[in-house]
Amino acid sequence: MSVLRVLSYNVHKGFCSANRQFLLGKIRESIRVVDADVVFLQEVVGENTQHASQIDGWIDEGQFEFLADTVWPHFSYGKNAVYNHGHHGNAILSKYPIINSENIDISLYRRSQRGLLLSLIQPGIYVICVHMGLLGWERRQQFKRLMAVIEEKVPADAPLIIAGDFNDWSGSLHSHFKNSLKLREASVQANGKLAKTFPAKRPVLRLDRIYFRGFNALAAKRLSGEPWRSLSDHCALYAELEIEV
């Protein structure tokens, strides 16, 4: 492995932006075309018995298993939001073996259940799937928790990728990732600026990102236009990362 192809995507629980159509099958087809080595997913449903009885074509298995299927033989899942009829959270799909995985709760209040899904994949690359909160003070506290997790669980010299939906509407967290964690961001390195990824039909906000160390970004692009604009409420973000030697 010299180049790692990475995809980050908030799948909106398999529904279109207006929540009127269940499109998980089309989402699976679309991410398969990209053929990334590692896929970071947010808002993935593990179980929803209510939807199972109401939505035509609902997937009985966990959505992460359905999306992974035969393309990504290795996956991890972390429950963030747990309710009476099921749960959803983050998932990582990988073509390379996942050595271990841990989901870390970073929720700060009941109505905003969030987590960090930390996995170690061969050959020794740490990956963290992130979905941060909607409020500024919430994200600042979650960033501090993320820093503590990295310091405690990720060796200082290990390659690291942090990807997901950061909900950083103002962009204020970006400098903290650069200056405090000494990370680079794929779209910034490849294209000079953060990618606009939300809302998918007319992206204006830079919410989704791929941060890293131990790599160089050879390419990065927002996946927009059809079919992406008609699937989730977010655009997917893709990057090709070359391992530094």
**pLDDT score for 128:** 98
Q: What is the pLDDT of residues 10-31, one digit of tens each?
A: 999 889 877 788 999 999 999 9
Which pairing describes strands 3-10 and 38-48: parallel, antiparallel, or unpaired?
Answer: parallel
Q: Which two tokens stand for residue 171?
A: 């962009």
- Summarize the confidence of residues 93-107 as an average pLDDT: 96
Cβ count near 138 (within 10 Å): 18
pLDDT greater than 90 at residue 228? yes
Cβ count near 126 (within 10 Å): 20
- Summarize the confidence of residues 137-166 as an average pLDDT: 97
**pLDDT score for 82:** 80
CA Rg, the chain, in Å?
17
SS (H, E, C) the chain: CCEEEEEEEECHHHECCCCCCECHHHHHHHHHHHCCCEEEEEEEEEEEHHHHHHCCCCCCCCHHHHHHCCCCCEEEEEEEEEECCEEEEEEEEECCCEEEEEEEECCCECCECCEEEEEEECCCEEEEEEECCCCHHHHHHHHHHHHHHHHHHCCCCCCEEEEEECCCCCCCCHHHHHHCCCCEEHHHHHHCCCCCCECCCCCCECCEEEEEECEEEEEEEEECCCCHHHCCCCCEEEEEEEECC
- Summarize the confidence of residues 64-71 as an average pLDDT: 94
Cβ count near 77 (within 10 Å): 23
pTM: 0.96
CA distances from 126 to 5, 52, 119, 223, 230 (A): 15, 34, 6, 24, 32
